[in-house]
Each structure stands twice: as structure tokens, then as C-alpha cells.
Amino acid sequence: MTHVLEHCADPALALRNVRALLAPGGGFYCEVPNCAALHFQTYAEISEMLDVPRHVHFFTGRSLRRLMEQAGFAIVEEVHHGHTRHFTPGWRAWENLAHRRLQERGGARHTPRRSLARDLALLARSAFAAPDRKYDCVGLFVRASVRAGTESPG
């Protein structure tokens, strides 16, 4: 489930359905945009990761882990990626278009317009940040928990 869960009307139900399809100990990978990332925090209103109305739920590594555990999964590994793509000219142009359109409609009051100088400052600030603040995506490798008194893991 790469970049699926944020589109689901009921992410918890979606994960329970996945859990029901897996054998005890069966695994899968789920990845979502990471809303704890400094880029998202800085440019939230215009961030390509916001993507409203297609994105209806927003996650951090912590909230995704909690949801997975509630759905009956054991976390095997958390991975992060997507640090430098935010700083490409195409990404900046897209988000500045969103900024301009929001301003034309009276929005984007709290979000600065993207610029090379702002991007370099953000790149420097995020370069040595913890993974949950540095990367725009968070993914979890998980296994279906084996409940006591049920089938044994094979």
C-alpha cells in the first residue's frame, strides 16, 4: 500500500481488511506522505503533499505506527525517503503556482512563497534532522500479529 492509506475514507477499516487477508505472521508494506517533515511543516498550505481533496487523512510515523498496531500489526521496520526532491525547480514551480492561486483567492496567508534562498535554508535545516523531520515519506514493514491461543506462526 504505497500512497494509498491517505486516500481512504476509513484508514483503520482499510488496515483491518488487509489484516483479515493475511495469514498470522504474514506481512506487507505501507507508505504515506510524512506530515512531520520540515518541508510539509514549512509549506503546508502549498505543499504538493497536502493534495486536498485527494488526500483525506494525514500521517506522521507515530500516528501510522499507532494505527497499524491497533489494526493488529507488529512493526518490523520503519523506513523514510524523499529528502531532496522538494528542492527541484519543478517542485518549487508547482508549489509556487499553488501559492499564487491561493493568494488570488485570499489564502496562503501564513505560508511563504518558495524561493531558492528559502529552499537552501530549509535544506540546511533538514540535512541533519531526525528521519521523521527530514524525509517526506514514511513507510512501515509490518507483520500480522499472532494472537495468543490462535494459530502459531509458520
Domain ranges (residues) in the chain: 5-144
Q: Kindly report the average pLDDT of the chain as a whole number.
A: 90
pLDDT digits (tens, 9 = 90+) for 26-50: 999 999 999 999 999 999 888 888 8
CA distance 46 to 112: 9
Per CATH, which fold does 5-144 belong to? Rossmann fold (3.40.50)
In this prediction, residue 96 has a pLDDT band, given cuts at 50, 70 and 90, of very high
Distance in angstroms (rounded) separating the CA atoms of residues 113 and 92? 9
- pLDDT for the residue numbered 152: 38
DSSP-derived secondary structure letter, 94 = H
Query: Looking at residue 117, what is its pLDDT?
Result: 93
Instruction: Read off φ and ψ for residue 36, nearest 5 degrees.
Output: -85, -10
> How far is 48 from 31, CA to CA, in rounded Å?
16
Specify the pLDDT at position 147. Answer: 64
